[in-house]
Structure 1
Amino acid sequence: MDPEFEKAWDDRRTDDFVPPQDIYEFCRVANAAQREAALAQPHFEEGHVEDIYMPMRDGYINTSRAWWPSGATGQEPLVVWYHGGGFCLGDAAFEEELCQRLCEGLNAVLVSVNYRLAPDYPFPTPINDCWDSLQWIASHSRELRADKESGFILSGGSAGGNICAVLSHLARDAGDIHITGIYLGMPIVVHPRVVPEIHQASYRSYEENKDAPCLSQADLERVINAYNPDPESPLYSALLWSDGHADLPPTYFQVGEFDVVRDDGIIYERVLREAGVKTKIDTYPVPHAFQGAFPELPIVKRFNDDMVAGFRWLLGP
């Protein structure tokens, strides 16, 4: 493990802290910690931000957020971001600093998508919201002052990576939404109970890293149980997509070597590559969601710099 992260974690850790067992209290505490961390992050003054409103299939109006870079001309590529949080935490501003940084660093229009959360809205409502939102965004790109021909990227980390893996297949199969690239940060792509036999020998991180910092196996199971997906549904376990993975867009992965879902990313990258998908993967000696815990560490800067470089790889020359 990265020695500077390990020291910072050991210095902060308190053995008497027990995470709340009630899922609502767990979410309240986790959201409060995330908001506190977000306040400590730098905020960009450049560009423009506004909320956007998208109707869902059941009439719900999804309020999401969009950023435009300074000097935007309407020719910028479109990046869609799906926040993490285990399907139970966060909102469209959950990773605001990251969204602002990508918007300016890539000179792209960035839309951060909200979706209704478990436990109040379990599977499949969140993924349905995300698919409905993507279809709205794709058909309203001109109103968003973005140029899909310059690039149309789906991106997200953790639960957001799960969402992007699913949406990439839905968009491919629909045929009328041309996604040009996918970013998957520490993604979840299969329920541990339904890992295909061919991959079981490689699927070790769920046990090897079950006591990892930041996100343990128990933490993960708490939020996934609240989301309550059908483990065998490809709308959760994208690895199981019945029509396979050929003809998906180029995909960039960032994976933590000490992450409980490390092997989701490792296996899925290999599966895509073997299906003929262009892939790129970077790995780091860190656990899940490490960058939010200690944003000042050099390993976080490396991760963030690599992320921007990976997005540029997706956008092409």
Structure 2
Amino acid sequence: MYKLTARAHHLAVPHRHQAMAAETSLEFGEHGHLAVPDPEFAPFIDFIDSLPQRSKTDMGLRRKQFEDGLITISKQNYGVGLPKESEYIVKDEEIDVAGSPAGKIRVRTLVPASSEEGKTYPLYVWFHGGGWTTGNVDMDDYQLRQLCVELQLSIVNVEYRLAPEHPTPIIQDDCYAGIKWAVENQVLLSADVKKGFLIGGLSAGGHLTAVLAHRARDDPWFEGRPITGQILQIPALCHPEAVPDEHKSSLFSFKQNEFATGLPAADVHWLYKQLGGSPTSPDVSPFLHPVHAGLPPAVLQICGLDPLRDEALLYGKILKKEGVKTRVHTYPGVPHGFNYGFPNISAAKRWEREYREGLRWILEGAPQA
């Protein structure tokens, strides 16, 4: 699932030398301490170090490795808490996407089961992670089934076409089509966007959420039915080659976590290359959108041992500065996507709790955080 090189033990802060790590972290700015390994996670590093990296030359093999690894682990870990099948309805739908090239994508819908005729629920549209190159609706399927029942949400899980075969803007357009399809099919989904209309995603899915929150804000199609909240989990927000000069001095996590477990900095560069598009385009780097005011309330969840850490923390500050109601949660000493493989450590339990609290906060009208 994760790969951590021997060199990483020194640059991503060695877990066997906590005091030294804390001191070293000072050179990486005000958030450097967040890279000191979590004591509960640190014992797993040697095991993670022994796992093979996913292929970068054979995309078919890479996707199979992802499915056999992370997706299988996710289902094993989250399957323990699955609600009863009688408590929700799950269906796969195929929808058309216009554009160049046109195509079809799959969405998985989850609707709470109710004996009350005509009962409706808030709508939540989800985009999976996987670095734009891997992943599918199975990745977060079990987590979303839990949320469907626990929070009584109608959920649409979008399986967009993948890069590099379908680069920018195809991926973004697929996800946008998924959002519009969900709105147009509220009756089918027993949904009512007036009760809440949220979008969210993890990693690449967090990136897509940020991109589409801007697009929907500026699209008259959503007039009278605006998105009311966004969930940004460990999001990629700014291409590393497009960081504005004024922010370069405050973004240290790419260097500090250069060899971090799960997502080393070199992988981020490689994944952006697969995504395609101009690094400075807001479709690639939503951080660079000229205006963030007017976006829906946002919840950010950010890991300390992640090269994407500091851009997400800065994005949270910018959103607040521009008047967007925003909650920011950090998870010190754990890497990108840690919750899939280590759901029983304290940080993962807090991740799940704060995820649910963030959804409720938005559904309650996002009172000022």
State the TM-score, normalized to the length of structure 2.
0.81
Distance (Å, rounded) in 2 between the aligned partners of 1:70 and 1:7? 42
Distance (Å, rounded) in 2 between the aligned partners of 1:18 and 1:70? 41
**Correspondence 1:276 to 2:315:** no
Which residue in 2 is equivalent to 1:163? 208
Distance (Å, rounded) in 2 between the aligned partners of 1:23 and 1:128? 25
**Correspondence 1:195 to 2:243:** yes
Which residue in 1 is equivalent to 2:13? none
- Answer yes or no: is the 8 Å Cα contact 2:63–2:135 preserved in 1: no
Which residue in 2 is equivalent to 1:7? 43
Q: Which amino acid aligns with 1:250?
A: P
Which residue in 1 is equivalent to 2:120? 75
**Correspondence 1:205 to 2:246:** no
- Answer yes or no: is the 8 Å Cα contact 1:193–1:231 preserved in 2: yes
Q: Which amino acid aligns with 1:272?
A: L
Residue 75 of structure 1 deviates from its aligned partner by: 2.0
Report SS of the residue matched to 1:295: coil
Moved more, 221-230 or 199-208: 221-230
The structure whose Rg is larger is 2
**Correspondence 1:63 to 2:106:** yes
Residue 19 of structure 1 deviates from its aligned partner by: 4.3
Pick closer, same or farther for the CA change 1:115–1:19 going to 2, 3 Å. Answer: closer
Residue 48 of structure 1 deviates from its aligned partner by: 1.0
State the TM-score, normalized to the length of structure 1.
0.94
- Answer yes or no: is the 8 Å Cα contact 2:88–2:112 preserved in 1: yes
Gaps of 5+ in 1: none
Residue 40 of structure 1 deviates from its aligned partner by: 1.0
Which residue in 2 is equivalent to 1:303? 351
Which residue in 2 is equivalent to 1:263? 310
Aligned pairs for 1:84-103 (under 5 A) are 84-103=129-148
Provide the aligned C-alpha RMSD in A: 1.7
Distance (Å, rounded) in 2 between the aligned partners of 1:224 and 1:66? 29
Q: Which amino acid aligns with 2:259?
A: D
Q: Which amino acid aligns with 2:142?
A: E
Distance (Å, rounded) in 2 between the aligned partners of 1:39 and 1:184? 22
Distance (Å, rounded) in 2 between the aligned partners of 1:296 and 1:113? 27
* Count of paired positions: 315
Moved more, 174-183 or 18-27: 18-27
- Answer yes or no: is the 8 Å Cα contact 1:105–1:308 preserved in 2: no
Distance (Å, rounded) in 1 between the aligned partners of 2:141 and 2:349? 17
Distance (Å, rounded) in 1 between the aligned partners of 2:305 and 2:53? 21
Pick closer, same or farther for the CA change 1:311–1:18 going to 2, 3 Å. Answer: closer
Aligned pairs for 1:171-250 (under 5 A) are 171-177=216-222, 178-242=226-290, 244-250=291-297
Instruction: Work out which of the residue numbers 144, 152, 156 in structure 1 matches 2:197.
Output: 152
**Correspondence 1:40 to 2:76:** yes
Residue 18 of structure 1 deviates from its aligned partner by: 4.8
Distance (Å, rounded) in 2 between the aligned partners of 1:68 and 1:149? 17
Pick closer, same or farther for the CA change 1:266–1:55 going to 2, 3 Å. Answer: same
Distance (Å, rounded) in 2 between the aligned partners of 1:139 and 1:198? 42
Residue 224 of structure 1 deviates from its aligned partner by: 2.1
Which residue in 2 is equivalent to 1:22? 57
Pick closer, same or farther for the CA change 1:256–1:105 going to 2, 3 Å. Answer: same
Q: Which amino acid aligns with 1:179?
A: I
Gaps of 5+ in 2: 1-36
Moved more, 141-150 or 55-64: 55-64
- Answer yes or no: is the 8 Å Cα contact 2:112–2:152 preserved in 1: yes
Pick closer, same or farther for the CA change 1:263–1:6 going to 2, 3 Å. Answer: same
Report SS of the residue matched to 1:4: coil
Which residue in 1 is equivalent to 2:4? none
Report SS of the residue matched to 2:302: strand
Report SS of the residue matched to 2:40: helix
Per-residue deviation, residues 220-267 of structure 1 (Å, max 9, x unmatched): 22322222232111111111113x011111101111111110012101
**Correspondence 1:253 to 2:300:** yes
- Answer yes or no: is the 8 Å Cα contact 2:302–2:309 preserved in 1: yes
Q: Which amino acid aligns with 1:283?
A: T
Distance (Å, rounded) in 2 between the aligned partners of 1:128 and 1:300? 32
